């Protein structure tokens, strides 16, 4: 399987693995099960694994380090900083607001390395653009970690075109991570073109619409009480009912092609450019294996157009985030 390149130096398998859901956001899972899934991903050839300090907070980095530390020469580990996290009587908790001050960039890198038990972070992302800190200052601090040998490459998450260009002028940006799928096409507003022009890899998270495009969710009742999708407008019960019609069309076409809806949706993302490396999350090994298999699916130009017309954002009910979270995107 031909690898894909993130920036100048990171060669990775075309499909990565988003690790968040193993311990954050969707209710988590038993550590032993998560480790089995992570090890199976490595066996299948997956090389890019994505985590962040805020997932837990902290617990997902610990999990990733425990599972992948012994396999360090086979994997690329990406993590992210950018939120305020405070110790409370109930443990570490995310606090309101963003934090990309240079001293915070330094402190989080050191803490992430300790938690994961590794010597270097392969890809270090700013999780959200902080409007109170010039991107030049933040990327300058990130670049210092590269010069120290503690970080190999830099990334941005949910950044707009102007921010990407300013950041890239300070230090080469290897990857931009944003939500991108059949039902979320925000990066088509210029971000994909900028990444292609500048030689920056693009890493779509939630390429399966947080599981919805896979046809796995038919009602909000399926979501656990701690599942953060309960707070997302698209997963409101009324919107789920409306959006099921979109998934039905995708499922019908997928069946005709001998594929699953998830595979068709992921293949569409992969076909949008050879600089694109999606990171679908998987807690079940069967889903992981199906996602990895998608890397070998080649769509014709006509099929890309056909699939892209089946599910479009204007056909989808509800925003991808609530107002506060939306305000932190496309910085």
Rounded CA gap, 130 and 109, in Å?
17
| pLDDT value for 193 | 98
pLDDT at position 289 is: 98
Query: Residue 330: pLDDT above 80?
Result: no
**pTM for this one?**
0.98
- Residue 251 in any domain: the answer is no
Q: State how far the Cα of 191 lies from the Cα of 164, in Å rounded to an integer.
A: 8
From 142, 116, 114, 101, select the one nearest 63 (Cα to Cα). 116
Calculate mean pLDDT across residues 17-36.
95
CB atoms under 10 Å from CB of 90, counted, come to 6
Report the number of distinct structural domains present in the chain: 1
Query: In terms of Cα–Cα distance, which of 70, 69, 51, 71 is closest to 61?
Result: 51
Average of per-residue pLDDT values in the chain: 96
**Can you give the pLDDT at residue 44?**
98
The answer to whether residue 321 is catalytic is no
Residue of 55, 124, 180, 321 with catalytic role: 55
Residue 231 lies in a domain: no
Q: Is the pLDDT of residue 318 over 80?
A: yes
CB burial of 166-189 (b: ≥16 within 10 Å; e: otherwise) equals ebbebbbbbbbbbbbbbbbbbbee
The answer as to whether 97 is a domain residue is yes
In-domain check, residue 182? yes
Q: Give the tens place of pLDDT for each residue, 258-303.
A: 999 999 999 999 999 999 999 999 999 999 999 999 999 999 999 9
How much is the average pLDDT of 64-80? 98
pLDDT > 90 fraction of the chain, expressed in percent and rounded: 95
Secondary structure in 3-state letters for 256-274: HCCCCHHHHHHHHHHHCCC
**Domain interval for residue 90:** 4-209+272-297
Q: Is 175 a domain residue?
A: yes
- Under DSSP, is residue 135 helix (H, G, I), strand (E, B) or coil? helix
Task: Find out whether 168 and 198 touch, Cβ atoms under 8 Å.
Answer: yes
In a domain, 308, yes or no: no
CATH code at position 186:
3.20.20.100
Does residue 106 fall inside a structural domain? yes
Q: How far apart are CA 331 and CA 270, in angstroms?
A: 25
pLDDT in tens, 157-206: 999 999 999 999 999 999 999 999 999 999 999 999 999 999 999 999 99
- At 96-132, the pLDDT tens digits run 999 999 999 999 999 999 999 999 999 999 999 999 9
Instruction: Give residue 216's region: left, alpha or beta (phi > 0; psi -120 to 50).
Output: alpha
Q: What is the pLDDT of residue 12?
A: 98
């Amino acid at each position: 399987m031909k690898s894909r390149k993130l920036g100048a130096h990171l060669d990775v398998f075309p499909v990565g693995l988003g690790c968040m859901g193993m311990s954050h956001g969707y209710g988590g899972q038993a550590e032993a099960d998560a480790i089995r899934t992570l090890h199976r991903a490595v066996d299948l050839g997956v090389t890019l694994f994505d985590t962040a300090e805020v997932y837990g907070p902290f617990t997902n980095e610990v999990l990733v380090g425990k599972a992948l530390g012994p396999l360090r020469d086979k994997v690329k580990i990406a993590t992210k900083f950018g939120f305020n996290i405070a110790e409370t009587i109930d443990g570490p908790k995310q606090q309101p607001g963003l934090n990309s001050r240079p001293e915070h960039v330094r402190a989080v890198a050191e803490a992430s390395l300790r938690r994961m038990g590794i010597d270097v972070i392969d890809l270090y992302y700013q999780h959200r653009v902080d409007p109170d800190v010039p991107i030049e200052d933040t990327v300058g601090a990130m670049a210092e970690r590269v010069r120290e040998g503690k970080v190999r490459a830099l990334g941005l998450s949910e950044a707009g075109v102007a921010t990407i260009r300013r950041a890239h002028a300070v230090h080469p940006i290897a990857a931009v991570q944003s939500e991108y799928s059949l039902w979320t096409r925000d990066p088509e507003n210029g971000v994909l073109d900028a990444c292609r022009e500048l030689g920056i890899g693009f890493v779509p998270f939630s390429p399966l619409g947080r599981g919805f495009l896979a046809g796995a969710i038919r009602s909000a009742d399926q979501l656990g009480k701690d599942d953060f999708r309960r707070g997302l407008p698209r997963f409101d019960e009324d919107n789920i009912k409306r959006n099921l019609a979109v998934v039905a069309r995708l499922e019908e076409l997928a069946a005709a092609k001998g594929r699953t809806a998830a595979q068709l949706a992921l293949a569409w993302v992969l076909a949008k450019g050879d600089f694109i490396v999606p990171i679908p999350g998987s807690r079940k090994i069967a889903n992981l294996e199906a996602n990895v298999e998608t890397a070998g699916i080649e769509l014709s130009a006509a099929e890309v157009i056909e699939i892209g017309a089946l599910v479009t954002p204007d056909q989808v009910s509800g925003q991808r985030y609530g107002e506060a979270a939306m305000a932190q995107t496309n910085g």
